[in-house]
Amino acid sequence: MDLSRFSLEGKVALITGGSQGIGRAAAIELAKAGADVVVVSRKMADLEKVAAEIESMGRNALPVAANISKIHEIDKMMEIVKSRFDTIDILVNNAATSPAYISILEAEERLWDSIMNLNLKGLYFLTQAVARLMKASGGGSVINVSSVDGFKPQKNLGIYSASKAAVNMLTKSAAIELAPYNIRVNGIAPGAVRTRFFEALFVHFSANEAEAAIQKMGDKLPLQRIGLPEEMAGALVYLASDASGYMTGETMVIDGGLLQVSPL
C-alpha cells in the first residue's frame, strides 16, 4: 500500500472549533501528516496552545479568534488567513454548539437561532468563502463534522438534530456543486465522544456519578466504550488526503456501533 497518499505535505488546513476536542485532535493529526494549520475558535488563549504544539512539530500554525456564526467575523477571519497563506487546501467544519435538551413545546427562538447560526449558517458561508479560494487554486477537500443525531432522532434534541441532518444534506449538495472544480465534500458523523460538550451533559453529577453514567452509556455499545477525539481524527486525515480522492458526498459514521444496535 502506498502510504504516501495519506501525506498532507505542502497543504494548508483550516479547522474551526480547533481549540478543544475533535477540532484540536484534528489539528494535531493533520499537522503530523504534514499540513500547515489555521486553527479557529472564539478564545485566542486556547488557540495559542494548540498553535504552539503544531509549531513544535515544525509545521506552520495560525491561530485566529472568530465566531463562525457571524458572517462579518468569517469575512475578517478570511482576510487574516489570506494575508498568511495563498489558499486553503483542506477545510474542517467542526465548530458547533452543544446539544440543548428541550421540548418542542418549550424551545424559544433564540435557542433555535444560536444552534442554527453556528451549526448550519456559519458552516455554509465559511464553506462558500473557502471554496472560492479552492476553485481559484485548483481544488481541495471540505469535511463537515456532523453527528449520529443527524441520522437518528432523539427526544428533546429536535433543533440540534435538525441542524446536523441539514449538514448531512449540505455535504451531498455541495459535493455535486463543487465537483467540477476538483473540490470534494465529505463528512464524519461521530457518536458519543469524550469532549467538553459531551462531559457538559454530566455537569450536575459528582465525578464518580459522571464516570459511572459514562461507563453505563459505553456498555450499551458494541465496542463497550465511549469514543475519543483522536479516534475521529484518523478519518479526517483520510478524507483530507489523496487516499480518499474518489470519494465525495459521503458522511462516515463513527459511533462505536451505535446505529447497528439502535438502527434508524
Please check whether residue 219 lies inside any domain of the structure.
Answer: no
C-alpha cell at 186: 465529505
What are the strands, taking DSSP E only, across the chain?
12-16, 36-41, 61-65, 90-93, 140-145, 183-190, 251-254
- CA angle 95–97–99, rounded 5-degree value: 135
Please check whether residue 160 lies inside any domain of the structure.
Answer: yes
Q: What integer pLDDT is reported at residue 68 of this predicted model?
A: 97
> Which CATH number do you get for residue 67?
3.40.50.720
Q: What integer pLDDT is reported at residue 264 of this predicted model?
A: 63
C-alpha cell at 10: 505542502
Q: What integer pLDDT is reported at residue 211 of this predicted model?
A: 81
Q: What integer pLDDT is reported at residue 141 of this predicted model?
A: 99
Please check whether residue 203 lies inside any domain of the structure.
Answer: no
User: What is the rounded CA–CA span in Å between residue 24 and residue 36?
Assistant: 14
Distance of CA 40 to the CA centre of its chain: 11
Does the pTM surpass 0.75? The reply is: yes
C-alpha cell at 212: 459511572
- Sites in the chain below the pLDDT cut of 70: 200-201, 203, 264
User: What is the rounded CA–CA span in Å between residue 174 and residue 153?
Assistant: 24
Q: What integer pLDDT is reported at residue 200 of this predicted model?
A: 67
Please check whether residue 187 lies inside any domain of the structure.
Answer: yes
Q: What integer pLDDT is reported at residue 217 of this predicted model?
A: 81
Write the CB contacts of 60 (distance below 8 Å, at least 6 apart in sequence). 36, 37, 54
Give how many domains the chain has, as a whole number.
1
Q: Could you confirm whether 181 is annotated as catalytic?
A: no
| Domain span including residue 145 | 3-191+227-261
C-alpha cell at 97: 454548539
Please check whether residue 205 lies inside any domain of the structure.
Answer: no
Please check whether residue 232 lies inside any domain of the structure.
Answer: yes
Please check whether residue 197 lies inside any domain of the structure.
Answer: no
Q: Which of 101, 160, 181, 238 is catalytic?
A: 160
Q: What integer pLDDT is reported at residue 195 of this predicted model?
A: 83
Please check whether residue 196 lies inside any domain of the structure.
Answer: no
User: What is the rounded CA–CA span in Å between residue 183 and residue 196?
Assistant: 31
DSSP codes joined into one string, 103-147 = -TTT--HHHHHHHHIIIIIIHHHHHHHHHHHHHHHT-EEEEEE--
Q: What integer pLDDT is reported at residue 24 of this predicted model?
A: 97
User: What is the rounded CA–CA span in Å between residue 141 and residue 174?
Assistant: 11
Please report where in the chains the cell 453527528 appears, as a residue.
Answer: 147
Q: What integer pLDDT is reported at residue 72 of this predicted model?
A: 98
Say what angle helices 123-137 and 71-84 make with each other, to 10 degrees.
Answer: 30
Neighbouring CB atoms inside 10 A of 112's CB total 15
Write the CB contacts of 29 (distance below 8 Å, at least 6 apart in sequence). 230, 233, 234, 236, 237
